Amino acid sequence: MENEISALLKERFLRYVSFDTRSDENNTATPSSEGQYALAQEIANELRQMGLADASVDANGYVMATLPSNSDKKLPTIGFIAHLDTSPDASGKVNPRSVLYDGTDIVLNENPRTVLSAKVFPEMKQYIGQELIVTDGTSLLGADDKAGVAEIVTAVEYLLAHPEISHGTIRIGFTPDEEIGRGANLFDVKKFGADWAYTVDGGEIGELEYENFNAASAKVFFSGRNVHPGYAKGKMINANTLAREFADALPPGEVPESTQDYEGFFHLTKMEGTVEASTLSYIIRDHNRVRFEQRKQKMLEICASMQQKYGENTVRLTLEDQYYNMLEKIEPVKYIVDIAGKAMQNCGITPKIKPIRGGTDGARLSFEGLPCPNIFAGGHNFHGRFEFIPVPSMQAAVNVILEICKMVQSQPLPN
């Protein structure tokens, strides 16, 4: 089965990453970029050509399709979901290449010299002797989450070619704008019609996740007063200085680069401004709901303190919750996680169960009535120039999807 899957999977993935699908948080339309809609149409056409007659793309770039049951049993309907967009953090104009990894550094680009090094990324060593797909050092790769998309489509293609594999109804969903927190906004759970689903949006081989951050975004606006610096004493209010004071008032160690596992953080994602006006953009993350609320309260307290010190109109804070920890929605149906874990074991893969230090569409969808844990897509170093994915890990993800479909044969319908 490996050889049968490999060539088609790799070709499909490379075709998908040729679409520039960076999402754009400054565009309120859905999808937020034209490339996402173009890829959605490409995939829907491909699914129809395979034989999924109902494959469709709606006006907002959501792809849905059905692989009908071929079983004589009444089985649950399960779904597989991945997202079409890539992160706006790096260029989406991808020029990938394959490398047979021998354990040495991989020079991605000579000018400027960009090196994928096992000294910096020691996890590479576990893939010696494997084919890796890497970037040219100028863009991200897009394995997050075009690997997940390619793996789901390839698994469906395999099931269509092998009707002797008995399975229930399988629903497929591909979403836009997940990277900017909007992937589940317009996802029609009722139309999707699955009893539960899996996002194929995790990292390295074996990852299985059903806990994620509680998440919020924050913007802090500072208003200053500009006066000639030679005559500014007692008159100038420098908005940039106010912004620095706000940032310094947050706990210095509670940032992404200093935290791991269940530790939350404040992440300053953008800063811009002049003496007259400046803005700080943050994301707030914590697995624990109480600590999450405390983090938001901390920002409000700093804002109030600065307003009292400098004037009510000098500092303004907006907070917006983005998603919550899916754990509370998954625990009552924990058997769907157990199915995925057993499927990995059946494929010779040790499940790596850990909390997601991020979020997926599945977090939002779990709160909308579609329980949705996350399984690996196989990539590493998402959102940047050093992203790579081992081809055997992609093949393994396909195998796990197929095994889940087989295992649901013995799973009773949910109440």
Convert the pLDDT of each residue in 2-23 to its tens digit. 666 778 999 999 999 999 999 9
Query: Can you give the pLDDT at residue 200?
Result: 97
Tell me the catalytic residues.
85, 178
For residue 344, being part of any structural domain is answered with: yes
Residues 282 and 354 in one domain: no
CATH label of the domain that carries residue 194: 3.40.630.10
Residues 163 and 276 in one domain: no
For residue 78, being part of any structural domain is answered with: yes
User: Would you give the DSSP letter of residue 133?
Assistant: E
Residues 166 and 304 in one domain: no
For residue 244, being part of any structural domain is answered with: yes
Question: Contact 150/408 with Cβ under 8 angstroms?
Answer: no
For residue 415, being part of any structural domain is answered with: no
Question: How confident is the model over 364-383, as pLDDT tens digits?
Answer: 999 999 999 999 999 999 99
> Cα angle at 302 between 299 and 303, to 5 degrees?
85
Residues 120 and 252 in one domain: no
Q: How confident is the model at residue 409 (pLDDT cuts 50, 70, 90)?
A: confident
Of the candidates 3, 9, 71, the residue with the CA atom closest to the CA atom of residue 406 = 71
The tokens for 41 are 């149409």
User: What percent of the chain stands above pLDDT 70?
Assistant: 98
Residues 33 and 78 in one domain: yes
For residue 361, being part of any structural domain is answered with: yes
Residues 158 and 44 in one domain: yes
Residues 397 and 315 in one domain: no
Query: Which of 323, 343, 367 finishes a domain?
Result: 323
| Whole-angstrom distance, CA of residue 145 vs CA of residue 151 | 10
Residues 279 and 169 in one domain: no
Q: What is the three-class DSSP state of 388?
A: strand
Question: How confident is the model over 123-169, as pLDDT tens digits?
Answer: 999 999 999 999 999 999 999 999 999 999 999 999 999 999 999 99
For residue 36, being part of any structural domain is answered with: yes
Residues 187 and 265 in one domain: no
Residues 203 and 227 in one domain: no
Distances from the Cα of 147 to the Cαs of 151, 333, 389, in angstroms? 6, 27, 8
Q: How many domains, the chain?
A: 2
Q: Which domain holds residue 316?
A: 214-323
Of the candidates 192, 160, 163, 167, the residue with the CA atom closest to the CA atom of residue 73 = 167
Query: Can you give the pLDDT at residue 1?
Result: 55
User: Would you give the DSSP letter of residue 410?
Assistant: G
Q: Once rounded to an integer, what is the mean pLDDT over residues 170-189?
A: 95
Query: Can you give the pLDDT at residue 358?
Result: 83
Question: Contact 189/365 with Cβ under 8 angstroms?
Answer: yes
Query: Which of 263, 294, 323 finishes a domain?
Result: 323
pLDDT averaged over the chain?
Answer: 95
For residue 90, being part of any structural domain is answered with: yes
Residues 297 and 349 in one domain: no
How many separate helices (H) and strands (E) can be counted in the chain? 10, 17
Question: Contact 195/77 with Cβ under 8 angstroms?
Answer: yes
The whole-model pTM stands at 0.88
Question: Contact 143/387 with Cβ under 8 angstroms?
Answer: yes
Of the candidates 398, 379, 393, the residue with the CA atom closest to the CA atom of residue 17 = 379
Q: Once rounded to an integer, what is the mean pLDDT over residues 201-215?
A: 95
For residue 367, being part of any structural domain is answered with: yes
Residues 142 and 204 in one domain: yes
User: Would you give the DSSP letter of residue 283?
Assistant: E
> Cα angle at 159 between 156 and 165, to 5 degrees?
145
Query: Which of 257, 290, 323 finishes a domain?
Result: 323
CATH label of the domain that carries residue 243: 3.30.70.360
Q: Which residues contact 29 (CB under 8 A, 6 or more apart)?
A: none
